[in-house]
Amino acid sequence: MEVENVLKELDLSDTGTEIYLELLRNGETTASGVAKRSDVERRRAYDVMNSLKEKGLVSYRDEENRRVYNAVSPKRLEDMIEDRRRDLEELEGMLDDAMPQLMKQFN
């Protein structure tokens, strides 16, 4: 499977995938720098990088009145899968608890 497809399976948008890969390849930069290299509108680059930060895939630091972004290690993707696995196990437990009631309604 291609890298882009893996990232999309982890709920990254097309633009999120493009920007994350851009940061991995080229290192830290500003939103303007990412926007130029990725051919993404600067405002959209800010929004996407904030989304990537919420997912734990991007970090930033403020430097001389500008925000400099950097990709977090791809190992974080493994953590995302583990988080998803835990969420699914919790959901499975909730479904197990609800199943008798659901089955009563089914019959």
Cα 39 to chain centroid, rounded: 20
Summarised one tens digit per residue, pLDDT across range 74-88 is 999 999 999 999 999
Output the furthest CA–CA distance in the chain (Å, rounded).
66
d(CA 77, CA 5): 13
Tell me which DSSP letter residue 47 carries: H
Residue 1 pLDDT more than 80? no
Summarised one tens digit per residue, pLDDT across range 36-82 is 998 899 999 999 999 999 999 999 999 999 999 999 999 999 999 99
Please answer whether residues 82 and 95 qualify as being in contact, where contact means their C-beta atoms are separated by less than 8 angstroms. Answer: no
